[in-house]
Structures are given as C-alpha cells and as structure tokens.
C-alpha cells in the first residue's frame, strides 16, 4: 500500500467543499425555522430535507478524510480544516434543533 501525505492544496479543496455544503445546509435549516414561524410547514419540511442533503455531502467529504487517515495516509490538520469541521458539527446541531423547532411551531399554530 502506498502511503501519502495530503498536500495543503488537496486539504484546502476538501475543506472548502465541507464549508460550502455545511453553509448551504445551515441556510436551509434557518429558512426552515423562518418558514415554520410563518406557518408554512410543508415549505419548512422541504427546507429540512435540503439541509440534510447538503450536510450529508459535507459529512461524506469529511468521512473520506477520516478513511484516508485510517489507511495510513497522513492528513495534517490546518486552521482551514478545523474551521470546516467546526462548520460541519455546528450545522449538524443546528439541523437537529431546526427539526425540533419546526415541530414546536406546528404544535402552537
């Protein structure tokens, strides 16, 4: 097995993909909350689905890095990669909260 070290450009590309998809997911999750607040529950549910689709893409990118490291290929963390992971994890939490908030708005409307 050939072991390699990811160069900064490769890691930066993956990090930007994670940030991009996590950002899309975050926007959709917030739009879901705003839609639910207005009583547009079908729209809110659609936004949650879009958020989950985007965060899954970001998670897949992140998981690929984990798999590479598990294979022995060195992934040197950078500030950009740490930022990407932070965006990924905080957005996953936001989506879970958005799902709950949508359900709460359904109950009170």
**Phi-psi map region of 2: left, alpha, beta (phi>0 left; psi -120 to 50 alpha):** beta
> What is the reported pTM?
0.91
pLDDT in tens, the chain (109 residues): 466 777 888 899 999 999 999 999 999 999 999 999 999 999 999 999 999 999 999 999 999 999 989 999 888 889 999 999 999 999 999 999 999 999 999 999 8
- CA neighbor of 23 nearest in space, from 64, 59, 60, 55: 55
The residue from 27, 43, 46, 83 that is catalytic is 83
Active site residue 83: yes
CATH of domain 8-108: 1.20.58.80
What the block records as the tokens of 103 is: 């359900």
Beta-carbon neighbour count of residue 34 at 10 Å? 13
Q: At what angle do helices 79-108 and 8-37 cross, to 10 degrees?
A: 10
What the block records as the tokens of 41 is: 């529950």
- CA neighbor of 63 nearest in space, from 93, 84, 90, 91: 84
């Amino acid at each position: 097995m050939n072991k390699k070290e990811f160069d900064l450009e490769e890691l930066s590309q993956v990090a930007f993909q994670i940030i991009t998809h996590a950002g899309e997911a975050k926007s959709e999750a917030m739009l879901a909350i705003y839609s639910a607040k207005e009583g547009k529950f079908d729209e809110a549910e659609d936004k949650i689905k879009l958020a989950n689709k985007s965060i899954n893409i970001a998670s897949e990118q992140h998981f690929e890095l984990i798999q590479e490291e598990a294979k022995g290929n060195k992934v040197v963390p950078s500030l950009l990669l740490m930022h990407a992971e932070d965006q990924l994890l905080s957005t996953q939490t936001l989506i879970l909260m958005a799902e709950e908030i949508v359900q709460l708005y359904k109950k009170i409307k």
